[in-house]
Copies of this chain bind each other. A is one copy, B any other.
Amino acid sequence: MIPRYTPTDFTELWSDDRKYQGWFDVELAACRAMETAGIVPRGTADQVAPFRDKLETATIDEIEKETRHDVIAFLTHVEKLAGAPARWLHRGMTSSDVLDTAMALRMTEALDRIIERGDKLVAAFAVRVREHRSTPAIGRSHGIHAEPVTFGLILAGHMAEIHRAVAQLKATRPTIAVGKIAGAVGTYAHLTPAIEKEALNALGLEPETVSTQVVCRDRYAQYFAALAQFAAAIERFSTNVRHWQRTELTEAEEAFHKGQKGSSAMPHKRNPVLSENLCGLARIVRAAVTPALENVALWHERDISHSSVERMIGPDATATTAFMADRCTKLIEGLVVYPENLLTILNRTGGLWASEGILLALVGTGMGRQDAYVLVQRNAMKAFHGEGDFQTLLCADADITAKIPTETIASQFDLNHALAHTSTIIDRALALAGQA
């Protein structure tokens, strides 16, 4: 988590201050549930509660240097602050009850913030999808011109993919919103399932089905995989922006800010640096998936090998994903689209994109597909090598006009025909994304 790629709310979320407040919240929720259960004196939590604002991160860290145990350091500090009532805290609990439950709170909050951004990103796409619903563009496979699409259709594809990723993030929420107040090895030896349930529900969480000393780490693995899927969806869009902005295409480009300099040496350069940056960041988020999976197989009731991993990938992957969502939202909102360039490029091959239509028209007369392929190919190759306009060449090929009239040929070069269904697809995508 470096400042450059961290939204301010994530700086705050992953701060040590917030960490200790989270621990405090968990201890208090547990304490209140124990009051209900009658094993802690009524009113204890209320007596301790006001000291939440008095927690001093630096002091706790200082104590930890002595105890070499973070939760014990925290409790020592709280006891110093709140006095006798604080002695009732943490009763029958193990450190992981606090750590894992507080981590669940932060991971869930991080997820919620990412989901909120994801929803905004989808909505931002929807605006541009509608705007360019009918803007013709050439579709490409293998980087080679294929057949026409609309720019709105392209964006709709990205919107649909990002929307699926957001849906997956939402599906992951109940998996990660799970805490644990079940004691040393998850047996409630000095607690009860009822205490856990009351405490966790008060925090908006559910209990782990079967705790070990910790919440099971398959939950985290699923979470990071969902982040990586979201990042990959952004990566695909960003990759295409980079293509569109190439000098030879300039079909679309990133908004360029006044005062921004593209190059220290070449004053005219406008580089797709946001998109390239997003592609790089996708690698970072993706890189969290494998260690998260490696974290699953803890030994027996737990070992602590997962902890260092999560201390790093937890903040890094969530903050980076949130940053990507913000940046991608700006990117799509500000994307400068050049319809005239899109059209010029679409026409660049002199209508070669119509070749399939001609092929099908020939096959429709009963000609064998392979024979038709040969007929079309010989004209296509001439056009491709600049030996004439494709439509003209076709109309001059007697073998072809013997089969299909020139009007049929002409109809295959009609963009409206080629794009007849694109609006249907776009509407389907908008509806599915809740943007209809």
Contacts and interface: CB of A to CB of B under 8 A. Distances in A.
18 contacts: A69-B264, A76-B370, A139-B185, A139-B212, A142-B272, A142-B303, A144-B262, A144-B269, A146-B184, A149-B187, A159-B210, A189-B356, A210-B425, A236-B296, A248-B345, A266-B352, A268-B381, A283-B305
Interface in A194-236: 209-213, 216, 218-219, 221-222, 225, 228-229, 232-233, 235-236
B373 A142 contact: no
Nearest to A417: B189
Interface in A40-80: 66-69, 71-72, 75-76, 79
A304 interface: yes
A127 interface: no
A66 to B, nearest CB: 5
Residue of A1, A87, A143, A283 most packed against chain B (CB within 10 A)? A143
Contacts of A95: 263-265
A381 to B, nearest CB: 6
Count of identical protomers in the assembly: 4
A87 B368 contact: yes
A405 interface: no
A429 to B, nearest CB: 5
Residue of A311, A348, A356 most packed against chain B (CB within 10 A)? A356
Interface stretch (A107-115, A116-124, A239-247): A239-247
A147 B183 CA distance: 10
B308 A5 contact: yes
Given A213-B146, A280-B304, A93 B363 contact: no
A267 interface: yes
